[in-house]
Amino acid sequence: MNQDYIKTDPWSIIEEGFNKELVKSSESLFSIGNGAMGQRANFEEEYTGETFQGSYIAGVYYPDKTRVGWWKNGYPEYFAKVLNAPNWIGIEILIGDELLDLNTCKSVNDFKRELNMREGWYQRSFTAQLQSGVEISVCTTRFLSLDIDEVGAIQYEITPLNQNVDITFCPYLDSGITNEDTNWDDKFWNTTNITSEGNQAFIEAHTMKTNFATCTFMEAKLLYKGSPIEISPNLKKGDTSVGLSYELAVEKGECFSIHKFGGYTVSRNHNESELVKAAKSTLQKAVTIGYEGLLQKQKEAWAQIWEMSDITIEGDVKAQQGIRFNIFQLNQTYLGKDSRLNIGPKGFTGEKYGGSTYWDTEAYCVPFYMATKNQEVAWSLLEYRYNHLEKAIENAKKLGFTNGAALYPMVTMNGEECHNEWEITFEEIHRNGAIAFAIYNYHRFTGDYSYIPKMGLEVLIGIARFWHQRVNFSEEKQQYVMLGVTGPNEYENNVNNNWYTNYLAKWCMDYAAEQVQKVKNEYPEDYKRIADKTNLTTVETEDWNKVTNNMYFPFSEKHQVFLQQDGFLDKEMIKVQDLDKSERPINQKWSWDRILRSPYIKQADVLQGFYFFEDHFSKVALEKHFDFYEPFTVHESSLSPCVHSIQAAKLGRMEQAYTFYLRTSRLDLDDYNKEVEEGLHITSMAGTWMSIVEGFGGMRVLDNQLHFTPRIPKQWDSYSFKINFRNQVITITVSEQKVSFEITGNQDLKIQVNEKPLMLTPGKVVQA
Amino acid sequence: MNQDYIKTDPWSIIEEGFNKELVKSSESLFSIGNGAMGQRANFEEEYTGETFQGSYIAGVYYPDKTRVGWWKNGYPEYFAKVLNAPNWIGIEILIGDELLDLNTCKSVNDFKRELNMREGWYQRSFTAQLQSGVEISVCTTRFLSLDIDEVGAIQYEITPLNQNVDITFCPYLDSGITNEDTNWDDKFWNTTNITSEGNQAFIEAHTMKTNFATCTFMEAKLLYKGSPIEISPNLKKGDTSVGLSYELAVEKGECFSIHKFGGYTVSRNHNESELVKAAKSTLQKAVTIGYEGLLQKQKEAWAQIWEMSDITIEGDVKAQQGIRFNIFQLNQTYLGKDSRLNIGPKGFTGEKYGGSTYWDTEAYCVPFYMATKNQEVAWSLLEYRYNHLEKAIENAKKLGFTNGAALYPMVTMNGEECHNEWEITFEEIHRNGAIAFAIYNYHRFTGDYSYIPKMGLEVLIGIARFWHQRVNFSEEKQQYVMLGVTGPNEYENNVNNNWYTNYLAKWCMDYAAEQVQKVKNEYPEDYKRIADKTNLTTVETEDWNKVTNNMYFPFSEKHQVFLQQDGFLDKEMIKVQDLDKSERPINQKWSWDRILRSPYIKQADVLQGFYFFEDHFSKVALEKHFDFYEPFTVHESSLSPCVHSIQAAKLGRMEQAYTFYLRTSRLDLDDYNKEVEEGLHITSMAGTWMSIVEGFGGMRVLDNQLHFTPRIPKQWDSYSFKINFRNQVITITVSEQKVSFEITGNQDLKIQVNEKPLMLTPGKVVQA
C-alpha cells in the first residue's frame, strides 16, 4: 500500500484537505466517464500547480509515429493513442481582479472531493482566502451524462464570505491542448473554426492524420441567489480557444453560480459538415432538461446499473468501497453501446497504453460484462474482433503467415497492430487464444450459439490457421513444438514451448475443428458462406487435429507439474519470500536480463491456463501447480492477483484469497504500484469482480447450469452479488452461516450449489 | 555482388565516368584517413546533388541521448557517436559568375576518381561545360598526412579550355554541419570564435556536452602557370563559416591552382586555450614543407606501411585489389599511436555504429595489427581495455554484479556502454571473453608476457568474476548453466546455454586462474599489488575451477556435435540452399520472430569457438561441426565469411574457401550488402587478411613456433605475405608448385611447415 488518504465510505470516494502533492493522484481517482467520453478530475478554474490534464473522446485517436532505438522488420509505423481532447470543462474565475488559483491562494480550507458512485457525480468544495483578502466558498459538481452521452454538466457555485465583490465566470473551450505522452512532440489537433452565439460557443478541430472531426461545444446559464439571471457575455477569442465572460457584482453571503453544459460531437457519429448543428441540437436537449433534470436522470441511470451489477459486502467497508469503485469505473469506461469501442487498460483516466485494446478485454472483461449486462454487450465486444479480422489476417501476413491465418494485434485501436517490442508484438501471441476463448466463453455462459455461425467461426478459422502454421515439427522430439514466444508472464521473453501458449494453441485448433463440424451439420448455409469466403477445405481441420494429437508440453516428472517453458528448472529457484525486500519490485530494481533469467513470474502463466481450462484438470493438479508456481510469482502485473485469488479460494485457502482480493480491489485507491497519478487500472478491475463472483462465490457455468461453491472471508459478515444468467437475475447472498438465492423471471432455475442440485423459484428466497 | 563499376587495378581504386547515383557509394569507397582524422570523398566544390558529407576527428564524439520505444532498467543514457566534424576541405569555385557544381553543369566529361593505395592519395579529374558555355578542366588531389597527422593537403587545379575567364577560389571552413544520424536533431557543435589572418583562417568550436574543443584551420597558397602568386583575399565571414576569396583573370589553356592546407587541433592533444596557436604551428610546418614535400613524405610513409603489410596475389587482379583495399583501409583507420583510440566498424568512412568500439577489435583486428606492426600497436589495443576496466566494473554493477566483476560494453567510446537493445546490451556478453582471448593471443603471438602482470591480470580477474556470477547451478542438470544470452549469431536472442559463450566463459575462468597462479609465482610484487587492489582471495580461483569443472555444454548424441544452444534441434531444419532466393537476405525479408525461430545463423557461432580454440578439437570434429552448421549459415554479417574461409581452407575445401574469401575481400568494392554508401566495413577487413594468412597460408603460433600449412586457390598463380614475428619479418610465397620463406634479422628461426620443422636463415630463400 502506498497511500491511504481516501476516506473509507461504502458509496463514495472522498478526499478531505488540500494537498498539492496529491492533486495528480486525485485527478485519476475522481475521474468520470460515460462510455463515450471521459474526464480526469482537473479543476475547472485555473491551476498553476502540478496537474495532468485529460479529456478523452472514445474512439478518437492519433497514430503517433513509432519511436524505437532499433527498427525490426514487421514493426508498425505508428502507435495509435487516445488523445487528450479539447478542454470543455474550463471556467476562468476572477474574484475582483484576481484569478482564482488554488496554487496561489493565501489559504485553502475545508477542501473536499467526493465521487458519488451511487449517483454518478463528482463534487469539489472548499473555502479560500485570496491574495486580495477576499474569502470565498466554492462548490462545484459535475457529471458526464449517461442519458445524453455527448454532454457533460457542471454547476459551479461561489459565495463571497467577507465582502461584496465583482465575480467573473469565464467558461471557455480550448483546443490548444497537448498530450503528455507523445513520441515526437507532434501537434495532434488542427483547429479549423471557432464560433459563438449568445451563451454558446463552438470549436471545430480535427485530429491530424486520422482526421477525426470534432465540435467541442458549450452553453452557459447563470444563476444568482438561486434564480436564473441574464448577463451579456464578453467574447474572448484566441487562436485555439473561445471564452464567454460573465461579470456580476456579488453581495457578501450570496451565491453566484454557473451551469455549464459542454461536450463533443464527433464525425464518428455525425456527418462531418453538421457537427455544429448536431452540437446545437444536443445543447438544446440538455439545456431544456436543465442541470437538475440531467442530474436526476443521471441518478436514475446509475441506479439501474447498480441494480444489476452491485456487490454488497457487510462488515468490511474498505472491501465494500473497493469493489464498488471497480464496478463503477468499468461502467464509466464501457457500456457496450458501440461495437467500434473497447476497453483500454486505463479507460478514460490517463494516456498510458494509449487507450488501446489488449487481450485484457477477452480474458478479464468479457465475464464481467456477460454477467452484469444483457448479452448484447458481450456480443459487441466479440463483434469488435470480428470486424478486425481482415486486419488480423493482414497482420499475420506481414509476419510471413499465409492462407488466411489471423494474428490479432497485441495492442490496437482500429485492428492494426500498434506495439513495437519484438518480444511482445511478434511473440506474445497467446492473445490470439484469448480471443477464441472469449467466443467459447460467450457460448458457454449465454447459451447463445448464434454468434459462431454468424461471425465467430471465421475468427476461429483464422486463429486455428495461425497456430497451425506457427508450430513446427521437431525431428528431435517427434512432436510439434512452438518456438520463440512470450507467455502471459512477460518476465520471460522468446522462450520455447511456453506451456500456456502451447495448450491454448492446441485447444484453439481442436475447438475450431469442432465448431467447423457443428456449423457444417447444423447451419449448412452459414457453413457454405464461410467455407467459400475462407477457402476452407475438409483436410484442413484434419491437419489441425494431426498437430493437436501430437503436441509437446513441457512436464517435470520430478515435480509432477507442467513446466512454464522448456528449461524452466535450470533457473536458480529461490522463492520470492527469500528475496531481500530491497530487491522488490524487481521490475524497478533489476536489469531486464536478470529478470529474464530469474524464475520470477509477473502474472499467472501456467495458472492462467488452469484458470481458463479448469475442468481439464483435477483439483489435486491445480493445488500442485499453484504450490509450485505461486511462490515464484511477484504479481507485478495488475492482472495477477485476481486469478490467484480465485484459485486460492477454490483450494479453500481463504486467508490467501482475501489478501489477493484486497490487493486487486484497492490497487488504485491505495496506490499499490505508486503510479495512480498516471490513471486507473480499468481492465484489472474486472478481475476484482471475478475474485468475488468466481473466487468467493465459486460461480461456474458447466453444461448449461450455474454452479456455486460459496465461501466467505472471515473478515466479512456477508456479501451478495447478482448474475444475469440467460435473462434471469440470480441474487446470491453468502454469510458464514448461510447461503441464499433469489431469482427474477417467471420460470424455475435449477442450479448446483457445492455440487448438489438446488431448484430456484422466482420470488422465493432459497437457502442452500 | 551489387555493383561492379570500380575498375580493376592492383594498386588503385578507380572510377570512370560521372554517375550521380554512385556519388554516395564513391564517397565511401574513396575515403581517406590517417588514424587521427578521416574524410569521405566529398567534392571540395559546391555539389547540390545527393551527397553524404563526412569529416571525422578520431576520439571526438557526442553523447546522443538514447532513443528507445520501451525503456529497460540498465539502459545507458546516451549513445556516443563520432561526429561529422567541421568541414575543412571546402573550396567554393566561381567560373566567371557561375558557381561550379557538377550537378548543374551542362556536361561533365572524362570524370575519373583514383584512390592510389600505394602512395596514399586521392585524385579526381574531369572536364566540364558550364551553363555559361565556359569549358574547364579540373584536377584535384588530396591526402591526409601520415607525417603531420593534424593536417591534410589539397591541390585543386583549373584550366579554362575555350576562353579567358575570371576564376575565384574561395577556400572555406564551416562548423555549421550536422550529422545524418541523430536521435533528437540535437545541435552537436557550438562555434565560439572565428578569426583570419592573411591566407589563414581558424574556427574554434566545441562539441556540446562532451566539450571537445577544436580549432579547424586552413591556409591557402595560389599558383598560376605553375608558379606561386600572391593575391589578396576577400574575407567572407558567416556565423559558422569563414572563407577567403581569391580572384584571378585566367587565360585560356593556363592552369590556376590552389594548395589548401587544413585540419584540426583538438583539446585531446593540446591545451584548450592554445588550439589556435597549435594550429598556426602545424600550418607553419606543413606550409614550409609545402604540398609537394608533404606528398613525397606521404608516399614514403605508405611505402613503409606496405613494406611490412602488403600481400601480393599473382594471376587474380580482383583479389589483389580486394586485399590491398582492406589492408589500406585498416591502416587509414588505426595506426596504434594512441591507446585512447580504437577501431570503429566503419572507421572514418561513415556515421553508422557511431565510430565506437565493438568486440570486432579483439576478435578480428588484433591479429592483423600484431602481425603487421610492432607489438606496441597490439599492446595499445589491449591497454585501451585496461584503461576502461573501472568502467566495465561499474557497468557490471549496474546489472547487479558485485565484487569487482567486469562486463565490458558491447559498444563504447570511453568505456561506458552505449548500446540499448536488451538482447544485445545485457545479453551478448561473449564480448567479455574476446577481450580475455586477445590477452592470451597477444602473449601467444608475441611471446611477451609482461602485459599480464602489468595490466592484463586485473582485466582477467574482473572477467572471470563476471562469468562466475553469471552462471548458476541447475538442480535439474546438476551442472552449471548460463541462461539468457545472445551468442555471436545475433539471429538468436535470449537463449540458454549458448555453447560458444559457455565454452568461452569456462576458458576465461580457467585461464584467469592459471595466470593468477603464474603471476603469483613469477611476479610476486605484481601479484601483491593486484591481489590488494582487487581483494583477490585464494579460494576465489578455486571457486572458479569448481564451476569450470562442472559446466554444461549442450551436445547432440545423434549428430555428435555441440549444439549452438539448448533446443537448437527443435527447429525446422531447412538448409539455406533450400530456401527460396526471394526470402534472402532474411534480415530484410523476414520479421524478427521468424528469424529467431529459424535455424539460420548470421555469423559463425559454434564455429567461432572452433576458430578461437582450434587446438582443443580434432580436425574430424571441426569437419563435423562445419558440415553441420555452415549449411544453416546465411553470412549476413560482414564478420562471417572470413572464419568460414579459414576453416574451409583448413579442411582442404579450397573452392569454398575462395568463394568466402572473395565475399569478404570485395564486400565493399562490389557492395554485396547494398549499403556501401553508408561507409565501409573496416573491422571485417581484418578478417579478410586472416583469410589469406591463417586460411590459405595456414599460419598458426603454437608453443612459441610459427606453423604454416600453405594452400593456394586454383584461380591464383601465387601469393605472398609477410609476418612480423617477434622482431623478425618472415615473407612467405606460395604457388601451386612451391612454397618459399625468407626472413630478416640476424638469427635463424625454426618454423613448422605442414607439421614438419624448417629452419630459416636470414637472407636465404628456403623452400619447404
Chain B residues inside the 8 Å CB shell of A596: 483-484, 494
Residue A100: C-alpha distances to residues A760, B71, B491, B663 (Å)? 60, 40, 61, 74
B73–chain A Cβ distance below 8 A for any pair: yes
Catalytic residue among B490, B630, B636, B678, which? B490
> In which band, very low, low, confident or very high, does the pLDDT at A672 lie, cut at 50, 70 and 90?
confident
> In which band, very low, low, confident or very high, does the pLDDT at B645 lie, cut at 50, 70 and 90?
very high
Residue A709: C-alpha distances to residues A91, A706, A712, B337, B429 (Å)? 53, 10, 10, 80, 52
**Closest residue of chain B to A493, computed from CA coordinates:** B494
Residues 481-500 of B with CB under 8 A from A: 481, 483-484, 493-494, 496
| Helix and strand element counts for chain B (H, E) | 21, 33
pLDDT tens-place string over residues B106-127: 999 999 999 999 999 999 999 9
Other CB atoms within 10 A of residue A182 CB: 18
Q: For the residues A604-620, what does the mean pLDDT come to?
A: 98
pLDDT at B33 over 70: yes
Rounded to whole angstroms, the maximal C-alpha distance in chain A is 89
pLDDT at B354 over 70: no
Q: For the residues B419-423, what does the mean pLDDT come to?
A: 92
CA distance A699 to chain B (A): 39
Report the residue from B472, B573, B591 with minimal CB separation from A400. Answer: B591
Q: Which of A421, A471, A587, A591 to mutate to test the interface with B (most CBs of B within 10 A)?
A: A591
Q: Is A678 a known active-site residue?
A: no
A73–chain B Cβ distance below 8 A for any pair: yes
B400–chain A Cβ distance below 8 A for any pair: yes
Chain A residues inside the 8 Å CB shell of B421: 69-70
- Count Cβ–Cβ pairs < 8 Å, chain A vs chain B: 131
CA distance B647 to chain A (A): 28
pLDDT of B1 reads: 66
CA distance A586 to chain B (A): 10
Q: Which of A558, A570, A594 to mutate to test the interface with B (most CBs of B within 10 A)?
A: A570
Q: Which of B592, B628, B636 to mutate to test the interface with A (most CBs of A within 10 A)?
A: B592
CA distance A571 to chain B (A): 6
pLDDT tens-place string over residues B474-489: 999 999 999 999 999 9
Q: For residue A602, say whether it is annotated as part of any ligand binding site.
A: yes
pLDDT tens-place string over residues B256-310: 999 999 999 999 999 999 999 999 999 999 999 999 999 999 999 999 999 999 9
Report the residue from A477, A493, A569 with minimal CB separation from B570. Answer: A477
Q: Is B757 exposed, middle or buried (0-12, 13-18, 19+ CB in 10 A)?
A: exposed
Pairwise CA distance, residues A491 & A595, whole Å: 6
Chain A residues inside the 8 Å CB shell of B558: 476
Pairwise CA distance, residues B175 & A288, whole Å: 68
Pairwise CA distance, residues B457 & B721, whole Å: 33
What is the pTM (predicted TM-score) of this model? 0.93
Q: Which amino acid is at A593?
A: D
Binding residue numbers of B for substrate: 359-360, 602-603
A597–chain B Cβ distance below 8 A for any pair: yes
pLDDT of B289 reads: 98
What contacts A269, CB < 8 A, 6 or more positions away? A150
Grid-cell match 475443428, residue found:
A513
| Helix and strand element counts for chain A (H, E) | 21, 33
- Residue B195, Ramachandran bin (φ over 0: left; ψ between -120 and 50: alpha; else beta): beta
Grid-cell match 502471459, residue found:
A488
In chain A, the domains with their CATH numbers are 19-309 (2.70.98.40), 312-358+640-768 (2.60.420.10)
CA distance B583 to chain A (A): 10
**Closest residue of chain A to B419, computed from CA coordinates:** A69
Chain B residues inside the 8 Å CB shell of A573: 475
pLDDT at B65 over 90: no
A596–chain B Cβ distance below 8 A for any pair: yes
Q: For the residues B204-224, what does the mean pLDDT come to?
A: 96
Catalytic residue among A417, A490, A630, A742, which? A490
B619–chain A Cβ distance below 8 A for any pair: no
Report the residue from B70, B74, B588 with minimal CB separation from A421. Answer: B70
ipTM for this prediction: 0.92
Other CB atoms within 10 A of residue A186 CB: 14
* Mean model confidence pLDDT for chain B: 96
pLDDT of A1 reads: 66
**Closest residue of chain A to B556, computed from CA coordinates:** A476
Going by the DSSP 8-state scheme, the letter that residue B151 receives in this structure is: E
pLDDT at B235 over 90: yes
What contacts A524, CB < 8 A, 6 or more positions away? none
pLDDT at A715 over 70: yes
pLDDT at B589 over 70: yes
Report the residue from B426, B570, B592 with minimal CB separation from A426. Answer: B592
**What cell numbers appear for A486 in the block?**
512470450
pLDDT tens-place string over residues A467-495: 999 999 999 999 999 999 999 999 999 99
**Closest residue of chain B to A353, computed from CA coordinates:** B70
What contacts B336, CB < 8 A, 6 or more positions away? B369, B373, B376, B377, B378, B380, B381
Q: For the residues B529-558, what does the mean pLDDT come to?
A: 97
Q: For residue A280, say whether it is annotated as part of any ligand binding site.
A: no
pLDDT of B68 reads: 80
CA distance B593 to chain A (A): 6
B74–chain A Cβ distance below 8 A for any pair: yes
pLDDT at A205 over 90: yes
A174-183, A187-196, A533-542: range with lowest mean pLDDT: A174-183
pLDDT at A354 over 80: no
